[in-house]
Amino acid sequence: MSLAQAPSLRRYPLLETVWASASLAFVSGLLDAWTFGQVGTFATVQSGNLISLGYFTAGGNVGRALLAASSVLVFALGAFVCSIMVLWLSRRGRSYSAPVLLGEVAIIAMLAVLSVGHVVEPMWIAWAISFLAGVQGNAFHREAGMLYGNIAVTSVIQMAASLLGRAVGRRIADDGERHVRPAGAYLAVLLAFAVGGGGGFLLNRGWEGLSLVLAAAVLLVLWTCAVRGRGAIDPAQNAPTP
């Protein structure tokens, strides 16, 4: 019996487990690899887009500034739409993880085809990817009640370092909480995000759009696990963050 099929062996919902959150962070890195490589914007790290907005505005590059601003707005729209969808499905007592993942798979696969065929301008594909990143970031942003690197990379780095510091300084003051395990979870997610970004750049050098193909494949595996899994699947959206 697999872990996904044995709720008694899984303390947290499926999409809050470390392997799932690391997989989603890996996908985020792959998406950023395409948007940054093609149009110079970030799909998930909106702090980077806001810095770009200020930088290009100060330099008088209105076109690049507007592109960065539009990425932020499209990401926010994706998060907004996902929030409405989660509420609608929750009202009917239905899980939202599988529909969100399947929708991502279908749209990202289509975007990969458009990228390879150069059917539309890269800007439109980047907007679509940023929208999906907003959806994914809103739906899956927790690991055991903690924020993870699907979108909140800066917070994850800060928390990983803080937890390691608390583990080292236990003799100075011990709060009785675990520190090494959650720090390791954060670091695993950060590594997955970085590997997704670096690997995505390399893949797209060989074949433009290959990072999107891989992202769709990883999401398809997660969707399969969500459909076949027993017990809690959806992340606990309103759980307190340690």
Q: Could you tell me how far CA 95 lies from the centroid of its own chain?
A: 19
Lowest mean pLDDT across 30-34, 181-185, 220-224, 233-237: 233-237
Model confidence at 14, pLDDT cuts 50, 70, 90, reads: confident
Q: What's the pTM value of the predicted model, to 2 decimals?
A: 0.88
Q: Which residue in this structure is represented by tokens 């959150």?
A: 21
Residue 129: partners with Cβ closer than 8 Å, 6 or more residues away: 31, 34, 35, 43, 108, 111, 212
The rounded distance, in Å, linking the Cα atoms of 88 and 81 is: 11
Task: Output the DSSP codes for the chain.
Answer: --GGG-GGG-SS-GGGSHHHHHHHHHHHHHHHHHHHHHHS--SS-HHHHHHHHHHHHHTT-HHHHHHHHHHHHHHHHHHHHHHHHHHHHHHTT--SHHHHHHHHHHHHHHHHHHHHHT-S-HHHHHHHHHHHHHHHHHHS-EETTEE-TTT-HHHHHHHHHHHHHHHHTTTT---S---HHHHHHHHHHHHHHHHHHHHHHHHHHHSTTHHHHHHHHHHHHHHHHHHH--S--S--TTPPP-
* pLDDT tens, residue by residue, 180-211: 888 888 899 999 999 999 999 999 998 889 99
Model confidence at 145, pLDDT cuts 50, 70, 90, reads: low
What distances in angstroms separate CA 73 from CA 53, 66, 108, 239, one per listed residue?
A: 12, 10, 19, 26
**Mean pLDDT score across all residues of the chain:** 86
* pLDDT tens, residue by residue, 20-79: 989 999 999 999 999 999 999 999 888 889 999 999 999 999 999 999 999 999 999 999
